[in-house]
Amino acid sequence: MVHLNITFPEDLKRELDHEIKRAKTKRSTFIQLAVRFYLEVKNKKEKNALLKEGYIDVAMREESRLIMDDFKYADAETAKYIDD
């Protein structure tokens, strides 16, 4: 374990102390849990953003493939008239 000194605004400390009494725990334990929770939520949001980006990329590739399939016959017809 590492010892940390932190500073809180007075109103936040009062809220913290109130929650500590309700949770019947120690201040350091409560803050550790709060930091863990924050980091888990932050990491989950970041992972979800990456997943969303990946799904959008896959969907766009699929849409592009479908468009290309729609025009493949037209492209083949046009290719007959292009000089090499």
Q: How many CA atoms lie within 13 A of 3 on its CB side?
A: 0
Q: How many CA atoms lie within 13 A of 2 on its CB side?
A: 4
d(CA 21, CA 18): 5
Q: What is the mean pLDDT of each run of 10 residues along the chain (84 residues)?
A: 93 96 96 96 90 79 77 69 63
Cα–chain-centroid distance for residue 19?
A: 29
Which pLDDT does position 19 carry in this prediction?
96
Which pLDDT does position 66 carry in this prediction?
78
Query: Model pTM?
Result: 0.59
